Amino acid sequence: MEKVRLGRTELQVTRIGFGGIPIQRVGDDDAMRIIRRVFDLGVNFFDTANGYGTSEERIGRALQDERNSVILATKTPARDRDGALKHLELSLKRLRTDTIDLWQFHNVSNEPSYAEVTGPRGALEAAREALAGGVVKHIGLTSHSMDIALKATASDLFETIQFPFNYVTREAEDALIPLANKHDVGFIGMKPFAGGLLSDARLSIKYVLQWDTVVPDPGIETIADIEGIVDIVNGDRQLTNDERNEIERIRNEVGHRFCRRCGYCLPCPAQIPIPVALNIVSFIRRFPTDHVLSDGFSSVATRAAACLKCGACEARCPYGLPIREMLAENVQAYKDLTA
């Protein structure tokens, strides 16, 4: 598979990476088979996180004999030096390695978090110590906030930035990607399928590959997923007029005010699965009615109708969505469907 330079890290990564969230949802044996198949298909960039359940451990076990052939990236949610070092020690153990190729600060999406990471005794101090000791080779940051992502990229403190990028979450196109190119910061495109909102892998992968310096890291849950994606990467990546028209149609259908399914709104005091509930309208539009009327969706709508209006979710949402209002809209759409 074609490789590209990941900014000034000088790491030569494959044109797509492996996003490590979904692999924790499958059985252990299936996880081993999937990760091995990803590697066998030529992917060399594996991105996971300390907080992704069994993901680090599974990737480490599946690739322990291929360490010199892969680039391992992981993340710490810690903002302080001591907490970050503890996470680093655990990540090294889980990944069965003595070095992390790219260590990232996870979801730094507000000013207090950024200030803590970069301030005295912050997590950045831990990364610099690990860098000096050869335990970490490169330092990056991930964010869901455009303001923080721009600030981090321009700071020259970080060698990579990871930010949502797909054909409905396009904010990075205008400023962030050009800024990353200017500062020679590697750009990793998280959520190329908008957290599951976009179902056509062909459109999603071809779209993000129009940017030569963007490395998408789609989450992989099945062997069929990665085989289909690799076929797209190795095929004709130019978007046809019909594909561009289809992308525009889906954009118009989805709109601008939508949930990216990042899950940072959770947990909900009322036990509402907010990322699912906020996409009821999209499911109604895109799936057969009998599917949307299933017991699972009915349960989600019932719980969403019992929203406490506490606003805790809105305080945590990195996109500033009016979640309470959007929940009510989705509940009403479900009621209209069943009327």
Nearest residue to 205 via CA among 169, 230, 180? 230
Tell whether 106 is covered by a domain: yes
| Residue 280 CB partners (closer than 8 Å, separation 6+) | 292, 297, 300, 301, 304, 330, 331, 333, 334
Q: What share of the chain is helix, strand, coil (3-state, %, to 5)?
A: 50, 15, 35
Under 8 Å between Cβ of 76 and 88? yes
Q: 211 and 157 share a domain?
A: yes
Q: 233 and 328 share a domain?
A: no
Q: Is the pLDDT of residue 275 over 90?
A: no
Tell whether 121 is covered by a domain: yes
Q: What is the pLDDT of residue 282?
A: 76
Q: What is the pLDDT of residue 286?
A: 61
pLDDT in tens, 31-71: 999 999 999 999 999 999 998 889 999 999 999 999 999 99
Q: What is the pLDDT of residue 320?
A: 87
Q: Is the pLDDT of residue 260 over 90?
A: no
User: What's the CATH code of the domain at 105?
Assistant: 3.20.20.100
Q: 129 and 278 share a domain?
A: no
Q: 153 and 236 share a domain?
A: yes
Mean pLDDT of the chain: 93
Of the chain, the percentage scoring pLDDT greater than 90 comes to 78
Q: What is the pLDDT of residue 335?
A: 93
Q: Is the pLDDT of residue 165 over 70?
A: yes
Q: 164 and 308 share a domain?
A: no
Tell whether 210 is covered by a domain: yes
Cα dihedral 13, 35, 84, 148, rounded to 10, equals: 50
Q: 41 and 163 share a domain?
A: yes
Last residue of a domain, one of 240, 266, 299: 240
Q: How many domains does the chain have?
A: 2
Q: 179 and 309 share a domain?
A: no
Tell whether 124 is covered by a domain: yes
267 vs 125, residue with greater confidence: 125
Q: 90 and 143 share a domain?
A: yes
Q: Is the pLDDT of residue 287 over 80?
A: no
Q: 188 and 56 share a domain?
A: yes
pLDDT in tens, 208-220: 999 999 999 999 9
Q: 221 and 322 share a domain?
A: no
Q: What is the pLDDT of residue 281?
A: 85
Q: Is the pLDDT of residue 249 over 90?
A: yes
Q: Is the backbone peptide bond immediately before 318 cis, with ω within 30 degrees of 0?
A: no
pLDDT in tens, 170-190: 899 999 999 999 999 999 999
**pTM, 2 dp:** 0.84
Tell whether 254 is covered by a domain: no
Q: 57 and 177 share a domain?
A: yes
Q: Give the pLDDT mean for 62-84.
A: 98
Domain containing residue 284: 274-338
Last residue of a domain, one of 198, 215, 240: 240
Tell whether 246 is covered by a domain: no
Tell whether 262 is covered by a domain: no
Q: What is the pLDDT of residue 6?
A: 99
Q: 233 and 283 share a domain?
A: no
Tell whether 265 is covered by a domain: no
